[in-house]
Chains A and B, each alone.
Chain A
Amino acid sequence: MELEKGFCIWFTGVPASGKSTVAAAVERRLRERGLKVENLDADEVRRNLSPDLKYSKEDRDMNTKRLAYLASLLCRNGVSALIAAVASYREFRDRARRMIDHFAEVWVDCPLEECRRRDPKGLYARGDRGEVDDIAGVHQPYEAPLNPEVHLKTDQMSVDEAADLVIRRLEELRYLPREEDEEVYSPEEEEKIKRRLKALGYL
C-alpha cells in the first residue's frame, strides 16, 4: 500500500483552554479510523528534548521550532502528528505551517476567566501567588490566530463536539477520507438491493 503523507494539527490557545483534552479526543477518533497518529505532548517533548528551555520568547521560539521539526519528520513518513502547545506568537505557527505540507491550525479559544476557573495544573493560581510570571495571555502576549482552520470555543461546546468539528474540517481539507454519511446507495442501487432482499425473502 502506498505510503501517504501524514498531516499535522496544531492546537493553540492559552493555558487551560482545553488543547490537550481536545487533542486526545481527536487522537482517539483518528486511531479508530486506523490512522497512524503521534500525539506530541508539549510537556513531554520539553522534558525530553528541551529540558534547558524556559518560557522566554527565545526559548518558546526554539521549543516550537523543535516541535514543528519533529512533526515534519513524522508527517513525511505517513504518521500524522497532533501538537497541543500554546505557541503564543503567530510567527511560530506560521513557521510550522511552512515546514509541513498538510497543516491545520486549531484555535482552542476559551475566555481567561474560564481558564482560570479550570486551571488543572494550578498554573494561574501560582501566577496569582507570584510564583510564575511567564504565563502566555497573562504576563506575556498571546497572539490569537487570524485564519485558523478551526476555531473552537471550548466554553460553549463539549469535548466530543469540538473533536467532531476538527474531524469534519480534516475531511473538508481532504486530509482524511470522508465518512460517507449521506446517501449510501444511488437510486438504482437502492432498487437493486430491494429486489435482492425481496428475492432473499427478507422483504
Chain B
Amino acid sequence: MKQAEKVLVVGLDSAPTLLLDEWLPHLPNLRRLAEEGVYGPIESSVPAITIPAWATFATSKNPGQLGFFGFRNRLDCSYDRLATANATSLKEPTIWQLLSQAGKRVGLMGVPQTYPPPQVNGFVISCFMTPGADSEYTWPRELKEEIRFKFGDYLFDCKFRTEAKAALLAQIYQMTGQHFRIARHLLSSLPWDFFMMVEMGPDRLQHAFWKYFDPQHRKYQAGSDWERAIPSYYQYLDREIGELLAGMGDEVAVIVVSDHGAKRMEGSFNLNDWLIQEGYLQLAEPVTGVTELRRVRVDWSRTIAWGWGGYYGRVFLNVAGREAQGIVPPAQYERLRDDLAGKLAAIKDDRGRPMATRALRPQEVYHGPYTDQAPDLCVYFDDLYWRASEDVGHDGLYAFETELGPDDAVHDQHGIYILRPPGGGGGRRLEGLRLLDGGAPTILQLFGLPVPEDMEGKPVAI
C-alpha cells in the first residue's frame, strides 16, 4: 500500500448504515471517497455507545482492557461511588499519543473523551463532555482565545429533547457549521499530519427527528415538515466534508466513520421497576411518581440485583463479600445470574411479542484485566430497539414518553466506515469491519508505522 503523508478522520457520531445502503448515491463527496476506497458497515464496541466506542477506535482495545463500560462507571463495590469517564480514564495508548511519540503533528476536535484536553504534539479542542465555555478546553491553552475571537464560543452540544423542532434543527446546523468552519481554519493555519474530528450533530438530529422519517416508527408521522430533516442534513454534511477536502491531494488518507449506528426506538423498558416486580430489587420505602434510583432508599440487605439505564441496560448483582452490603452467596452467583439472564431474555414487549433481548455476560464479550469490573449483565433489550430506564415508580414496565422529553432513536451495533487510502482502494465493499480494526491499527499502517502487538485489531485490508 502507498504510504499516507497525512490522515484525516471525520467521525460522524451515530451515522447509520442506511448511509451506505441507501443514501450514498445522493452524497457525491462520500460516494467518491467510497468509490476510490473501501467501505462497509463497522461493528461497534459492546456496548454500542459513544463511550467506550470512540475509545475502542482510538486504542484498538475492548472495554475489558480499557476499564470503562459507558459514560459512568463504578469506582468500587459501594453503591454510589461513580465516576464519569473522561480523558484521564484513557490509560491505554491512544492513536494521538502514539503518533505524537512518533513525531507526527496531531490535531483533535470534538473527539469524545478528550476533556481535559490531552497534551499532544499539536492541538486539541475537547469534546461535549467539557463542563462549559469557561473550562480550559484546548491544548495549547492559548488556542481557546483564538477560537473564541474568530468563531465565538465553541458550541459543544445541543439539547435535543424538545418539541421546538425548528429551533433545534437550526441549532444543530449552527453547531455543525461552526465545527466545520473551525476545522477548515485549523487545517489551513496549523501544521498537521493527523487530524480527527467527531461531529455529534448526526446523533442529536436522529434522536429528535427519526419518527418523521422512518415509516416503521411507532410514532411515524407521514408528510410532516420534518420528513426529510435527516437525509437533508446528511446532504449538508456531505457538502461540508467536500469543502474540508477541497484542495487536498490523494496523498491524504481519509476515513469517515461512525461509532455506532442508529435505528427507530420502540420504547423504554423500565428495568428497575421490573427487577422490583420480580423480587430482585427491594426499596426501603415506597416511591410516589417516577424517581431516580439514586434518590430512593434501597433496602440492600434484601436486594439481589439492580440496574442502570441508557441505550442499553446494566445489571449488577449484590454479591456477598464483594458489594458493601452484598447478600448473594458467591456459590450461587452463576446460577442466579443465569436465571436472571434467562428471565430478561424472555421479557415480551408491550404487545406481548417476543423481544430479541440479549443479556451478555462480561466473560463472553470482554477480555482483559477489567472484565471482572464490568456489570454482571449487559442487556440489549430487543437488540437495542428498546432503551432501558433505571428510574422507578413508573406506571407499568413500558414507557413511550419520558419526563425528559422526546427521543425517537436508539443505537445500532453497526455504524459506517469509509476509507480512502492514498492511491485508492478500488471501491470495494467490505464486510466484517470492526472499530477495533478501522481505527488505531489502520491509521498506524497508513503512516507506515508499526502496529503494537497488544492492539486487538488488525489494519483494514485494502
Most A Cβ at <10 Å: residue of B71, B140, B308: B71
B407 pairs with A201, CB closer than 8 A:
yes
The DSSP consensus for interface residues of chain A is loop
With a CB–CB cut-off of 8 A, which chain A residues contact B129?
193
A32 pairs with B121, CB closer than 8 A:
yes
B120 pairs with A33, CB closer than 8 A:
yes
B122 pairs with A194, CB closer than 8 A:
no
Q: Is A57 in the interface zone, CB < 8 Å from B?
A: no
Q: In the assembled complex, how far is the CB of residue A29 from the closest CB belonging to chain B, in whole angstroms? A: 8
Docked complex Cα distance between A196 and B160 (Å): 11
With a CB–CB cut-off of 8 A, which chain B residues contact A198?
404
Query: Given A180-B88, A193-B129, A194-B72 in contact, is the A199-B159 Cβ separation under 8 Å?
Result: yes
Binary per-residue interface labels of chain A (158-188) against chain B in the complex, 1 for a CB within 8 Å, 0 otherwise: 0000000000000000000101110011100
Of A31, A181, A189, A197, which is within 8 A of B71 by CB?
A197
Docked complex Cα distance between A202 and B49 (Å): 8
With a CB–CB cut-off of 8 A, which chain A residues contact B84?
185, 190, 193-194, 197
B70 pairs with A200, CB closer than 8 A:
no
B70 pairs with A202, CB closer than 8 A:
yes
B131 pairs with A33, CB closer than 8 A:
no
Of A179, A180, A192, A203, which is within 8 A of B309 by CB?
A203
Docked complex Cα distance between A184 and B207 (Å): 29
> B195-242: which residues lie under 8 A (CB-CB) from chain A?
204, 207
The DSSP consensus for interface residues of chain B is loop
B71 pairs with A203, CB closer than 8 A:
yes
Q: In the assembled complex, how far is the CB of residue A86 from the closest CB belonging to chain B, in whole angstroms? A: 28
Interface residues on A, range: 20 to 34
A34 pairs with B131, CB closer than 8 A:
no
B101 pairs with A32, CB closer than 8 A:
yes
Of B88, B122, B310, B387, which is within 8 A of A184 by CB?
B88
Docked complex Cα distance between A2 and B310 (Å): 45
Most B Cβ at <10 Å: residue of A196, A199, A201: A201
Q: Is B171 in the interface zone, CB < 8 Å from A?
A: no
With a CB–CB cut-off of 8 A, which chain A residues contact B120?
32-34
Most B Cβ at <10 Å: residue of A34, A198, A199: A34
Docked complex Cα distance between A200 and B404 (Å): 9
A28 pairs with B160, CB closer than 8 A:
no
With a CB–CB cut-off of 8 A, which chain B residues contact A192?
131-132
Q: Is B325 in the interface zone, CB < 8 Å from A?
A: no
Docked complex Cα distance between A196 and B310 (Å): 13
Q: Is A1 in the interface zone, CB < 8 Å from B?
A: yes
A2 pairs with B131, CB closer than 8 A:
no
> B286-314: which residues lie under 8 A (CB-CB) from chain A?
308-311
Query: Given A193-B131, A202-B310 in contact, is the A181-B72 Cβ separation under 8 Å?
Result: no
Docked complex Cα distance between A194 and B86 (Å): 13
Of B71, B139, B159, B407, which is within 8 A of A34 by CB?
B139
Docked complex Cα distance between A200 and B407 (Å): 9
B157 pairs with A33, CB closer than 8 A:
no
B72 pairs with A33, CB closer than 8 A:
no
Q: In the assembled complex, how far is the CB of residue B353 from the closest CB belonging to chain A, in whole angstroms? A: 24
Docked complex Cα distance between A192 and B128 (Å): 12
Of B86, B157, B308, B405, which is within 8 A of A203 by CB?
B308
With a CB–CB cut-off of 8 A, which chain A residues contact B59?
none
Query: Given A32-B101, A34-B121, A179-B119 in contact, is the A199-B161 Cβ separation under 8 Å?
Result: yes
Docked complex Cα distance between A59 and B374 (Å): 62
Q: In the assembled complex, how far is the CB of residue B380 from the closest CB belonging to chain A, in whole angstroms? A: 15
B131 pairs with A203, CB closer than 8 A:
no
B100 pairs with A32, CB closer than 8 A:
yes
Docked complex Cα distance between A11 and B431 (Å): 53
Q: In the assembled complex, how far is the CB of residue A176 from the closest CB belonging to chain B, in whole angstroms? A: 9
Nearest residue, chain B, Cβ from A186: B131
The 3 closest A-B pairs by CB, nearest first: A33-B119, A189-B131, A34-B121
What are some 10 contacts across the A-B interface (CB < 8 A)? Answer: A32-B97, A32-B119, A33-B119, A34-B100, A177-B119, A184-B88, A184-B115, A193-B84, A197-B84, A201-B311
Q: A31-B121, A181-B88 are in contact. List 13 more A-B contacts (CB 8 A).
A: A31-B103, A33-B121, A34-B120, A180-B88, A184-B86, A185-B131, A186-B131, A190-B84, A192-B131, A193-B129, A202-B49, A202-B310, A203-B310
